[in-house]
């Protein structure tokens, strides 16, 4: 089997270093590049054209999910495995929609990562174990309430977490105060909380904001 050329894209240097050391010790891959944010990644891909990118979601200058369409368009032979802390099904489904070839959590076992790399390199998709269960649950309609939050609702939670009051949020989003109050009421109902502090705490816990 030829060695698999890999680029590691993650904004945390220590994580990149640990991941590269583990993969190099495996002996079946070549680490041909790394990137700490989106624009660097696109430059690296243009010069290296790897087989696979291990791609984090939360990065400066473009999230991993937002970069997927660009990567697929510019470098159609490059496969992308999302390697992230985000285990909320909304991130999984968005990644699928944007063209991800695999989705793996950062707490996955070393052997599962190796399996994912081999599977994707051979032209297969890899969404197994916990991620596969989440997709099946979603398709069967068994979604948790927090996965039903809209992009606007998540945007409002972020603004509340930044300390903005209802009037400021309404002005920023060009809607009425009553509309924001309605959104907040629905958000709290979906998250099963009763006040703003609990809403923010739950949003961080569910990694809806960060």
Domain of 130: which CATH number? 3.40.50.2300
Entry pTM? 0.64
Starting at the edge strand found earlier in the chain, the sheet holding 102-105 runs 29-35, 4-9, 52-55, 79-84, 102-105
Domain count, the chain: 2
What is the pLDDT at residue 142?
A: 47
Tell me, yes or no, whether 106 and 194 share the same domain: no
Left if phi > 0, otherwise alpha if psi is -120 to 50, otherwise beta: which for 62? Answer: left
Residue 210 is assigned to a structural domain of this protein: no
Of 82, 105, 139, the residue at which a domain comes to its end is 139
Q: Which domain holds residue 160?
A: 145-205
Tell me, yes or no, whether 176 and 114 share the same domain: no
Half-sphere exposure of 59 (CA within 13 A, CB side): 30
- For residue range 58-112, list pLDDT tens digits in order: 887 778 888 999 999 999 999 999 998 877 777 888 888 889 999 988 888 899 9
Tell me, yes or no, whether 67 and 98 share the same domain: yes
Q: Which residue has the higher pLDDT, 170 or 139?
A: 170
């Amino acid at each position: 089997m030829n060695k698999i050329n890999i680029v590691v894209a993650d904004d945390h240097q220590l994580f990149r270093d640990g991941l590269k050391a583990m993969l190099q010790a495996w002996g079946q891959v070549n680490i041909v590049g790394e990137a700490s944010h989106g624009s660097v990644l696109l430059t690296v891909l243009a010069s290296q054209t790897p087989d696979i990118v291990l791609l984090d979601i939360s990065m400066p200058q473009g999230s991993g999910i937002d970069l997927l369409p660009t990567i697929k368009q510019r470098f159609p032979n490059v496969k992308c495995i999302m390697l992230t802390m985000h285990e909320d099904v909304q991130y999984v489904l968005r990644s699928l929609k944007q063209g991800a070839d695999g989705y793996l959590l950062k707490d996955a076992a070393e052997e599962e990562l190796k399996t994912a790399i081999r599977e994707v390199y051979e032209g297969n998709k890899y969404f197994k174990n916990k991620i596969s269960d989440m997709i099946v649950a979603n398709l069967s309609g068994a979604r948790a309430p927090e996965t039903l939050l809209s992009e606007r609702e998540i945007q409002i939670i972020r603004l509340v977490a930044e300390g903005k009051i209802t009037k400021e949020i309404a002005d920023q989003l060009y809607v009425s105060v009553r509309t924001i109050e309605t959104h907040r009421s629905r958000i709290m109902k979906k998250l099963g909380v009763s006040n703003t502090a609990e809403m923010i705490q739950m949003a961080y816990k569910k990694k809806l904001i960060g």
